[in-house]
């Protein structure tokens, strides 16, 4: 067995972006959103919002 691990490539911008060049609505975040992301926030900030909502249930 080898000790090498495969790491996914990190892209600074999504490969498939909409023509409107949507960006995350979180203040201070300028990540461009993928055309497949229906939300107004990037994955990191969307997860923070969802986890914050579940804390109040």
Tell me the per-residue pLDDT of 1-33, one tens digit each, with 9 for 90 and over.
556 666 666 656 556 555 668 889 988 998 988
Q: For residues 7-34, b (16+ Cβ closer than 10 Å) or e, as one string?
A: eeeeeeeeeebeeeebebebeeeebebb
Q: Is residue 15 part of a domain?
A: no
Q: Is residue 29 part of a domain?
A: yes
pTM summary value: 0.52
Residue 39 pLDDT > 80: yes
* Tokens describing residue 30: 């300028």
pLDDT average, residue stretch 26-47 = 87
- Where does the pLDDT of residue 57 fall: very low under 50, low under 70, confident under 90, or very high at 90 and above? very low
Q: Is residue 11 part of a domain?
A: no
Q: How many structural domains does the chain have?
A: 1
Q: Is residue 41 part of a domain?
A: yes
| Owning domain of residue 38 | 21-57
Q: Is residue 56 part of a domain?
A: yes
Q: Is residue 31 part of a domain?
A: yes
Q: Are 33 and 42 in contact (CB under 8 A)?
A: yes
* Tokens describing residue 45: 């900030």
């Amino acid at each position: 067995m080898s000790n090498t691990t495969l790491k996914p490539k990190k892209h600074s911008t999504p490969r498939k972006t909409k023509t409107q060049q949507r960006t995350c609505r979180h203040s201070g975040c300028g990540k461009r959103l993928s055309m497949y992301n229906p939300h107004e926030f990037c994955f990191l900030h969307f997860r923070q919002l969802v986890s914050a909502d579940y804390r109040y249930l």
